Amino acid sequence: MAYVLFLGGLVVVLAGLTWFASWARKRGRGSAVAGALAAYEEAYRPTSHHAHHEQRAAADRKSELGSPDDL
C-alpha cells in the first residue's frame, strides 16, 4: 500500500511540475530559469554556454525579419 501512495504522490508532483512548465512557457516566464542555467553553464560548461548564446542570437535574428505583409 505504501508503494501505491508513493507512486501516486510522485505522479501528482510530476503532473504539477509539467503544468507549471507549460504555464511558464505560455506566459514567457521561463527566461529567469534559462538565465540561471546559462550562468551555471558559463561556469562549468563553457562550450554549452557559447551554444546558448548562439541559439539566442539566432532567435533574435528570426524575430527581427518581419513578414512580407508589413510592406
Question: Contact, 4 vs 10, CB < 8 A?
Answer: no
Q: What's the mean pLDDT when you consider all of the chain?
A: 79
Buried-exposed string 1-33: b where 16+ CB fall within 10 A, e elsewhere: eeeeeeeeeeeeeeeeeeeeeeeeeeeeeeeee
Each residue's pLDDT tens digit, 18-41:
998 888 777 766 677 777 777 777
